[in-house]
């Protein structure tokens, strides 16, 4: 158990819908990262937040957005969902931006 929690574990929804994935980092970790894992793209970095502020952006679609709240938990919002958005979404956290990242168990999103 890494100490990073993600909810829900599984999510099944339809095309065009909007979903919110939630992540609670390890106690004391200020940085939160989101990654997408799919069969065709592999593991891709989406976005990083540090103490509430966006720090880095990867290949994140405009339909996707994220935020980190004052209690340091983070949410990833996915809207206008397409079949191709079906993937595993991982959250990771670290103490600072320079330390190793600890990954949560992931949320498996299925878009039908």
Partner 1 sequence: AQSVTQLGSHVSVSEGALVLLRCNYSSSVPPYLFWYVQYPNQGLQLLLKYTSAATLVKGINGFEAEFKKSETSFHLTKPSAHMSDAAEYFCAVSATNQGAQKLVFGQGTRLTINP
Give me the 59-88 binding string for partner 1, x by CB under 8 A, dash otherwise.
------------------------------
Q: Which is nearer to partner 1, 64 or 90 (CB)?
A: 90
Concatenated DSSP letters for 84-95? GG-EEEEEEEES
Is 36 a binder of partner 1 (CB under 8 A)?
no
Distance in angstroms (rounded) separating the CA atoms of residues 65 and 30: 19
Which residue in the set 27, 42, 62, 71 belongs to the binding site for partner 1 (CB under 8 A)? 42
Is 48 a binder of partner 1 (CB under 8 A)?
yes
State the pairing for strand pair 42-50/31-38. antiparallel
Cis-peptide into 8, omega within 30 deg: yes
In 39-104, DSSP assigns E strands to: 42-50, 53-57, 64-68, 74-78, 87-94, 102-103
Which residue in the set 31, 36, 68, 93 belongs to the binding site for partner 1 (CB under 8 A)? 31
Binding site for partner 1 (CB under 8 A): 2, 4, 31, 33, 35, 42-45, 48, 50, 55-56, 58, 90, 92, 94, 97-98, 100-106
């Amino acid at each position: 158990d890494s100490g990073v929690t993600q909810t829900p574990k599984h999510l099944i929804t339809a095309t065009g819908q909007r979903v919110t994935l939630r992540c609670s980092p390890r106690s004391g970790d200020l940085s939160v990262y989101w990654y997408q894992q799919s069969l065709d793209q592999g593991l891709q970095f989406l976005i990083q937040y540090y103490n509430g502020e966006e720090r880095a952006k990867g290949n994140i679609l405009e339909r996707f957005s994220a935020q980190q709240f004052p209690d340091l938990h983070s949410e990833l919002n996915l809207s206008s969902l397409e079949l191709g958005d079906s993937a595993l979404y991982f959250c990771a956290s670290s103490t600072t931006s320079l330390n190793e990242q600890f990954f949560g168990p992931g949320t498996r999103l299925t878009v039908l």
